[in-house]
Amino acid sequence: MKSNMLMTVLSGVILTGTLSTPVLAATHQPAKMTCEEFTALDETAQPKVVYWAEGFNHKGKPKDAIIDIDSTDKLVPVLITECQKTPKASFWQKVKAHF
C-alpha cells in the first residue's frame, strides 16, 4: 500500500516537472522576453529559459539536440547580472551576445 502511494506521488512530481517547461515557454515566450521579465522569474525557472534560448538559433528554430548544461548553468548568473543593469533590454539579445 505504501509503495503504491509512493509511486503515485512520484509519478505526479515527474509529470508536473515535465509539463512545466512547455507551459513556461508558452507563457513567457523567451524570444520576446525583456530582461526585467527574466529576472522576475523564479530561480528554478531562469535556467530553463536559458536552456530553451541556447537550443534555438536566431530564427527561433531548433539548432541542436544537445545542450551543454554546465556552460549554460554558468551563463545564468551572468545573464541575471547583465539583465539587472538594463532591465528594459531584450533578453534574447543578451543571450545571443553570450553564445
pLDDT value for 4: 41
CATH of the domain at 66: 1.10.890.10
Does some domain include residue 41? yes
pLDDT tens for 43-53 read 999 999 988 88
Q: Looking at the domain assignment, is residue 83 inside a domain?
A: yes
Residue 5 located in a structural domain = no
- Inside any domain, residue 93: yes
Q: How many domains does the chain fold into?
A: 1
Give a yes or no: residue 14 inside a domain.
no
Angle between helix 45-54 and 69-85 (nearest 10): 110
* Assigned domain for 15 exists: no
**Ranges in the chain, pLDDT < 70:** 1-28, 57-65
DSSP, collapsed to helix, strand or coil, labels residue 62 as strand
